[in-house]
Structure 1
Amino acid sequence: MNLERITLIDTGYIRPGLCAAYLVHGSGGRAALVDCGTATCAQRVLAAIDAAGVARDAVDWLLVTHVHLDHAGAAGPLMRALPNARLVVHPRGAQHMVDPEKLIAGAKRVYGEAMFARDHAGMLPVDEARVVVADDGHVVDLAGRPLACADTPGHALHHYSVWDAATRSWIAGDAFGLSYREFDNGNGAFAVPTTSPVQFDPGQMQASIRRLVARAPDAIRIAHYGIVTECVRLADDLITLVDAMAAIARDADASPDRHARIVHGVTALYVERAAAHGVADPVRSVAAVLGGDIEINAQGLGVWLDREAKARAAG
């Protein structure tokens, strides 16, 4: 087995090409799965593991970059199907995997009951005895292939990214933004931040992006979606966009229709940047591909504004 091999798994969440998990192959047929989609994706992920030629009892690790449901919702069902796996999770997220009730309640608030039932139903708790807490710098040994966990908050406080020295690449969850392959063209990849509720912090996000590129990676594997290689350029773009999105949110903060104004401002920003990138028909493309993300990003920006206001009032 090629020790550099990493298999991209399309979890099937909502649409093709939206949400990826990564199967990292070690020696002797052993493997680790990084991220896993929602609970409704579990059977599709298991089928992909089977198709990759990995025995289910040879999956030693399930690493979840953070505990948002599109990354960790399938952990409970998968841990029941992968008998030798241990779950690796950030210290701030571990209890939510053992007792997912707060995660479920939060997701219902964000997505609504109907969407939760369609896309997220079936979450199960993970046996605490099989949970490994990954502090910053924690190293997972995949049959001699080290996978190092680095704390990368900004999108969420319970987020780490995984450094794979064999490929000199990160598996970065949501810490390096969204970059859908529909936007790829002769100018390369197009990326935007993901500022979803409830723990978005612009300064932390920018620091995490800088931490990722400081390793001079050959590639960064992101959940939404796939592999990007122009890491320095994309990092600069993402850092600039974080500032621009924060400014849009601040400008809208006093408005009675704050959320609508943030959605409008972020949409206009993305269309402008997509046009500059050479995306064909940027208005239609941004609406079609990024419409759902813009809504969630605007919610996250609003939660951030409210948290900042509370902090000012308290101190």
Structure 2
Amino acid sequence: MPAPSRPALPEGIHTVDTGFVRPRFDAAYLLVHEGHGAFIDCGTKHAVPRMLDALAKAGLPPSRVDWLILTHVHLDHAGGAGELMAQLPHARLAVHPRGARHMIDPSTLWAGALAVYGQAVMEQAYGSLRPVPAERVVEAPDGHVIDLAGRPLRCIDTPGHARHHMAIYDQYANVCFTGDTFGLSYREFDTARGPFILPTTTPIQFDPEALHGSIDRLIALKPDAMYLTHYGRLEDIERLAADLHDTIDAMVALARALRNSPDRHADLVQGLTELYAQRIADHGWQGDREALLHWLGMDIQLNAQGLGVWLDHAQS
């Protein structure tokens, strides 16, 4: 489908801070085009009021939202899908074919997240999961094009962070909505050199070779910007992609060196902390170790867990 003619600005892209964990940590996006809307990701159940508020500020009633598109079904991206869909009477939900069943019956999704985060965190951070009626769920395989009032949104299979991950290429704006494929970039680490970026290896499906390939596939589209869930719009794409590739390799090398460590998780946490501290210092960030752990401590723990799972699978 050819891209429609495109004005310079505005592009109809609204960033919605879902409020998960802290400000400027977890984003969803609202696209508005020709009086119709589409959400890309939605945060947790607790984010639903923020999503509806974003619609109101954009002057769009819930009945004019055609799509909720999920990059993947991890709960910080999709936990509120069922609750949000209940508020969007005419919307359909588009999701990678591997993720569709988890939206229709989220019990396995809940159990998997519970094993990672524990009961207390699940109840406080995520709340309950509401199923999405099967007739409202659309499987979006690689190359599937979603039509938002004549604005084509192409779904691109991007495994590496998760096997059920897709990115969305907005031809009209020439940007990609990357979920977690293009890493994490928190504004607190911005310096004169620009944004700082890290891969995310959250359990349980990290695959370094697939992730390298997915990053390259997005770069080949030559987008003007990437829109990350964690967090916001990034330019300087070529540099950031090179940084991601280099850091993935460094993390994999660290994990392999610690494969047989008797206290592997603790050693991975320590090794990742040192790796990130050095790279952030090289980037020109002036914060101390306490500040680093304040902003990255949870991600370091999750990345260490993901690397551990990958090591165990690689050995089997």
Give the TM-score taking structure 2 as reference length: 0.96
The residue number in structure 2 matching 1:268 is: 274
Deviation, structure 1 residue 257: 0.3
The residue number in structure 2 matching 1:313 is: none
Deviation, structure 1 residue 117: 0.3
Whether the 8 Å contact between 1:274 and 1:282 is mirrored in structure 2 is no
Matched residue SS, 1:13: coil
Deviation, structure 1 residue 3: 6.5
Deviation, structure 1 residue 22: 0.5
The residue number in structure 1 matching 2:236 is: 230
Query: Take 2:203 and 2:291, find their aligned partners in 1: how far apart are those partners?
Result: 24
The residue number in structure 2 matching 1:96 is: 102
Matched residue SS, 1:77: helix
Query: Take 1:286 and 1:238, find their aligned partners in 2: how far apart are those partners?
Result: 19
The residue number in structure 2 matching 1:159 is: 165
Deviation, structure 1 residue 40: 2.0
Q: Write the letter of the residue equivalent to 2:270.
A: H
The residue number in structure 1 matching 2:77 is: 71
Deviations for 1:142-199, whole angstroms, at most 9, x for unmatched residues? 0000000000000000000000111110001001000001111110000000000000
The residue number in structure 2 matching 1:5 is: 12
Whether the 8 Å contact between 1:162 and 1:172 is mirrored in structure 2 is yes
Deviation, structure 1 residue 290: 0.8
The residue number in structure 2 matching 1:21 is: 28
Deviation, structure 1 residue 122: 2.2
Matched residue SS, 1:172: strand
Matched residue SS, 1:188: coil
Task: Report % sequence identity.
Answer: 52
Deviations for 1:191-247, whole angstroms, at most 9, x for unmatched residues? 000000000000001110111111111000000000100110000000010011011
The residue number in structure 1 matching 2:189 is: 183
Deviations for 1:82-127, whole angstroms, at most 9, x for unmatched residues? 0010000000000000000011011111111000000111210000
Query: Take 1:185 and 1:281, find their aligned partners in 2: how far apart are those partners?
Result: 11
Query: Take 1:275 and 1:232, find their aligned partners in 2: how far apart are those partners?
Result: 21
Matched residue SS, 1:81: coil
Q: Write the letter of the residue equivalent to 1:210.
A: D
Deviation, structure 1 residue 52: 2.0
Whether the 8 Å contact between 1:34 and 1:63 is mirrored in structure 2 is yes
Deviation, structure 1 residue 44: 2.1
Q: Give the unaligned 5+ runs of structure 2.
A: 1-6
Matched residue SS, 1:31: strand
**1:293 aligned to 2:299?**
yes
- Aligned pairs, how many? 309
Deviation, structure 1 residue 282: 4.5
Q: Give the unaligned 5+ runs of structure 1.
A: 311-315
Matched residue SS, 2:179: coil
Query: Take 1:136 and 1:108, find their aligned partners in 2: how far apart are those partners?
Result: 29
1:117-156 maps to which residues of 2 (within 5 A)? 117-156=123-162
Query: Take 2:18 and 2:196, find their aligned partners in 1: how far apart are those partners?
Result: 22
Whether the 8 Å contact between 1:40 and 1:122 is mirrored in structure 2 is no
Query: Take 1:14 and 1:136, find their aligned partners in 2: how far apart are those partners?
Result: 31
The residue number in structure 2 matching 1:53 is: 59
Give the TM-score taking structure 1 as reference length: 0.96
2:113 maps to which of 102, 107, 113:
107
Deviation, structure 1 residue 279: 0.4
Deviation, structure 1 residue 51: 2.0
The residue number in structure 1 matching 2:263 is: 257
